[in-house]
Amino acid sequence: MELQARRGIGLVAHDAMKKDLIEWVLWNSELLMGHKFYCTGTTGTLILEALREKHPDESWDFTILKSGPLGGDQQMGSRIVDGQIDYLFFFTDPMTLQPHDTDVKALTRLASVENIVFCCNRSTADHIISSPLFMDSEYERTHPDYSGYTKRFEDKHVVNEAVESVKKKKKK
């Protein structure tokens, strides 16, 4: 199958799942060639090292962010919001409480808000990468319309009301 579309792919894995994600990337490396990757620190460094060992003559386009707990999850979320990431492969460890759980929840929420392809385990990742849509250059995800939310104060005079309230309080 020939590469049809260049995708932005986020790769993240909790410590107990790093080996699984590295194996998955190596197994699917031919399908992943030519895409742009965004990875949290340790995960990205390990994956890139493994890819260079398997494919020493191939050039890989990787952006390595900070470690997840040190802000990498938030950097990944920022790239999702900016439209740079189309797929997020985040192999989570369901058996271990993560010290940065709030960051993980925020990242997974942004994936949902932006309607990107998101998976948290190898079985789902296998289904995604084997989908004809993964290679389809014609496929574009639907971008949710949040204009109702973003314009919710458009016809309300909340700023004027706040200014008037402060003026009244200062006169007292």
Which residues fall in the annotated binding site for substrate? 14, 18, 40-43, 67-68, 100
End-to-end Cα distance, the chain? 75
Catalytic residue, from 15, 57, 73, 155: name it: 73
Q: Which candidate, 52, 63, 6, places its Cα nearest to that of 29?
A: 52
Structure tokens at 117: 């392809």
Residue type, 166: V
Q: Which candidate, 136, 87, 84, places its Cα nearest to that of 116?
A: 87
CB atoms within 10 A of CB 1: 9
Give Cα 70 distance to the centre of its chain: 16
- Look up 73 and say whether it is catalytic: yes
Residue identified by tokens 């004809």 is 132
List, by residue number, the catalytic residues: 73
